[in-house]
Amino acid sequence: MPTTIAGRSTRMEVLELLRRKGHASAEAIASDLGVTPNAVRQHLTNLERDGFVVSHPERRRRGRPSLLFSLTERADSVFPKRYGQLATMVLQEVREMGGPEALDEVFRRMATRHATAIAPTLEGLEFDDKLRRVVAWIGRAGTLAEQTETPEGVKVTIHNCPFRNTALKFPQVCTITPHLFSQLLGTAVSQADSIHRRDPYCSFVVQRPTHTD
């Protein structure tokens, strides 16, 4: 989960300086930021405790070795990201190149790829067990997915769409979930609510299979 550090604090300035320099001592950081070395050391101690920086001794020919600090992989999560903006730009280009049909095909292929990976875990299960597993799989993306019984079928509600901003511009994003249900469960799926239509959430009605003798 991305971690944020609010405000233009000295703590964030330390992280930004280490991002630019690669590594630096507490004294060098203090000099660049115009604060006391003790204040910087306190920030570095907390950042190292939280897993954002790591320290290692600087090799010197003479004198006492000095500690150098650098960022960990986890620190990358505190810097701004524009994944949604990039996704929108890519999808715009796909639409320009191939029209809406190209976007439809992209998301069908994405759903099929996921379905192929999930299908082996559903073998031999009854419909309800399959559905629960698929809903749980969707929920791992942070969607807050839940299922409820309705007269029309099982309603699956997505309370938190991780792709909300992109989905508002490209309704094809919302087709991944029904494609998944349809391919994995072999039943009809319809969309009841949609954030693209300015509903507060997306929901899909999965029809139970009809058993015939």
Question: pTM, whole model, 2 decimals?
Answer: 0.63
Give the closest residue to 106 by CA, choosing from 162, 192, 170: 170
Helix (H, G, I), strand (E, B) or coil at 54: strand
Is residue 131 exposed (0-12), middle (13-18) or buried (19+ Cβ within 10 Å)? buried
pLDDT digits (tens, 9 = 90+) for 37-76: 999 999 999 999 999 999 988 776 666 667 899 999 999 8
Q: Check pLDDT > 80 for residue 7.
A: no
For residue 78, the model assigns a pLDDT of 85
For residue 147, the model assigns a pLDDT of 93
DSSP structural state of residue 6: -
Six token digits for residue 195: 């954030």
Helix (H, G, I), strand (E, B) or coil at 140: coil
pLDDT digits (tens, 9 = 90+) for 173-208: 888 999 999 999 999 999 999 888 888 889 999 999
C-alpha 154/C-alpha 202 separation (Å) is: 14
Q: Check pLDDT > 90 for residue 209.
A: no
Other C-beta atoms closer than 10 Å to the C-beta of 202 total: 26
For residue 163, the model assigns a pLDDT of 84
Helix (H, G, I), strand (E, B) or coil at 153: strand
C-alpha 202/C-alpha 51 separation (Å) is: 36
Mean pLDDT of the region 110-139:
94
Residue holding tokens 């919302």? 174
For residue 61, the model assigns a pLDDT of 66
Mean pLDDT of the region 119-134:
95
